[in-house]
Amino acid sequence: MPDHNFPAPRDLAAAPPEAPRRPARRRRWVAGMAILLALAGLIALLPRAELLSGIELPAVRRPAPPLAAAGAPPPALTVAVQPVTPRLLGRQVVGDGSVVAWQELVLGAEIGGLRVVEVAVEEGDRVRQGQVLVRLEDAVLAAQRDQAVAAVTEAEAALRIAQQDLQRAAELVRTNSVPRQTLEQREAATRQAEARLAAAEARRDEAVARLAQTRILAPADGIVTRRVALLGSVVPAGQEMLRLAREGRLELNARVPELELAAVAPGMAVRVTHGERVIEGRVRAIAPTVSAETRLGTVHVALPPESGLRPGMFARAEILAEAAPVLAVPQEAVVFRDGRPAVFVLAEGGEQVALRAIATGRRRDGMVEVREGLAAGERVVVAGAGFLEDGDRVRLAGPVTARRE
């Protein structure tokens, strides 16, 4: 019998060995992780809507919007209005065309068969009236002139002799020394001598004139715009030699629609535009005819001497016609609905605007002419018109000062 109360020691050799528990726990842990990873992959592949379709989430309570008071009107837009009044609106007539010389003088040879021996000018040169521009060979004509001058001298001498014979015959007739017939013969001889002298003087003048034709002179001050004459060439009569822009004056032949010609008058101011350059001109004249093919008339616009333009250039003309009183509204009041111009009209004492279609005309200085759709005194919305629709309620911001002309 043991002398203590402790349990008897187990016979370790006889007891069967206990199976280890760690491997079993690890297998369960690995299996659980595999299941979780499979679920995570499935969740990633499925759309979110399908994933949540079967899940009922608690409803989120949101505050309801405040209810509008029954019968309260919608908030009004603040606008500014302006009454429609007649005003002077300048009219612009627009045309375009080419720059030309005011008068282009074409100079040619008056006598043919002569050789050009001198050309004294080049294109672009300024010339004075009477200046020699081209000189032709004149040796033959100079000799003919000298012959004509000698013939005149001979005819003058013959006339003096005939006059002396006539004087002596008249004295003898008074003394009855010679018959009356002799005096008549001397008178006839004197008249013949006078006629021969007149013919000789005419031939001399012709020779001098033909000789002068060998020198082509400038008929007026101007600028050489073209030179055809070449040194050494033999020119026929009438061949063009030079062209001059008389006095260097240029003008624009502006083509204007026929319906606009009635508003144009000589003396009106014209703004001529060529690229970035703007030149102030004046209407010199209006052509009396209109082209039947294009229905365009020509307005001759005189340009200043230092315009910087040259013949052949193309320019645009804005003719400032006389201002006429018309109904006009500021351009910011005009809106476009369905591709047509319109304005919003606010009746006196009213709160709702009405969309009104209008017919517009010319525009100038920020104003638009109204040809149809409005009457004088009606109020149109100027500020805020682009945000309105037909029938909108508005409130006024204050009066708008009318534009000054």
Q: What is the structure's pLDDT at 17? A: 47
Q: Per-residue confidence at 299, pLDDT binned at 50, 70, 90? A: very high
Contact 348, 377 (CB under 8 A): no
Mean pLDDT (whole number) for 199-212: 95
d(CA 199, CA 194): 9
Q: Under 8 Å CB-to-CB from 184, ≥6 apart: which residues? A: none
d(CA 352, CA 78): 12
Instruction: State the DSSP code for 263.
Output: G
Q: What is the structure's pLDDT at 175? A: 84
Q: What is the structure's pLDDT at 25? A: 61
d(CA 12, CA 222): 143
d(CA 241, CA 228): 5
Q: What are phi and psi of 120, to 5 degrees?
A: -90, -5
Q: What is the structure's pLDDT at 54? A: 47
Domain extents in the chain: 77-89+325-396, 94-102+247-323, 104-136+222-246, 138-213
Q: Which stretch, 295-299, 329-333, 343-347, has highest mean pLDDT?
A: 295-299
Q: What is the structure's pLDDT at 20? A: 47
Beta bridge partners, 368, equal 329, 363
Does the structure show a pLDDT above 60 at 356?
yes
Determine how β-strand 77-83 pairs with β-strand 394-396.
parallel
Q: Under 8 Å CB-to-CB from 244, ≥6 apart: which residues? A: 104, 105, 107, 127, 218, 219, 220, 222, 223, 224, 225
At which residue do the structure tokens 């534009």 appear? Answer: 403
At which residue do the structure tokens 């060439």 appear? Answer: 233
Does the structure show a pLDDT above 80 at 43?
no
CA torsion through residues 197, 203, 207, 208, sign: positive
Does the structure show a pLDDT above 50 at 348?
yes
Burial class (CB in 10 A: 0-12, 13-18, 19+), 145: buried
Mean pLDDT (whole number) for 163-177: 87
Mean pLDDT (whole number) for 312-325: 86
Please check whether the two domains, 94-102+247-323 and 138-213, share a CATH topology: no
| Lowest-confidence region among 68-72, 78-82, 182-186, 289-293 | 68-72
Q: Pick one of 2.40.50.100, 3.40.50.1860, 3.90.1150.10, 3.40.50.2300 as the CATH number of 104-136+222-246.
A: 2.40.50.100
Share of the chain above pLDDT 70, in %: 80
Does the structure show a pLDDT above 80 at 364?
no
Burial class (CB in 10 A: 0-12, 13-18, 19+), 376: exposed
Specify the CATH architecture of the domain 138-213: Orthogonal Bundle (1.10)
pTM of the predicted protein model: 0.54
Mean pLDDT (whole number) for 197-201: 95
List the one residue out of 134, 108, 122 whose CA is nearest residue 223.
Answer: 122
Q: What is the structure's pLDDT at 16? A: 46
Q: Per-residue confidence at 138, pLDDT binned at 50, 70, 90? A: very high
| Lowest-confidence region among 53-57, 172-176, 258-262, 384-388 | 53-57
Q: What is the structure's pLDDT at 399? A: 52
Q: Per-residue confidence at 394, pLDDT binned at 50, 70, 90? A: confident
d(CA 250, CA 302): 7
Contact 307, 250 (CB under 8 A): yes
Q: Per-residue confidence at 115, pLDDT binned at 50, 70, 90? A: very high
Does the structure show a pLDDT above 70 at 307?
yes
Specify the CATH architecture of the domain 94-102+247-323: Beta Barrel (2.40)
At which residue do the structure tokens 């073209």 appear? Answer: 226
Q: What is the structure's pLDDT at 50? A: 46
Return the CATH class of domain 77-89+325-396: mainly beta
Q: Under 8 Å CB-to-CB from 279, ≥6 apart: which residues? A: 271, 272, 273, 303, 304, 307, 308, 309
List, for residues 227-242, the tens digit of each pLDDT value: 999 999 999 999 999 9
List the one residue out of 338, 273, 359 whose CA is nearest residue 309.
Answer: 273
Mean pLDDT of the chain: 83
List the one residue out of 245, 271, 252 whose CA is nearest residue 313.
Answer: 252
Mean pLDDT (whole number) for 361-384: 86
DSSP three-state, residue 30: helix
Q: What is the structure's pLDDT at 189? A: 92
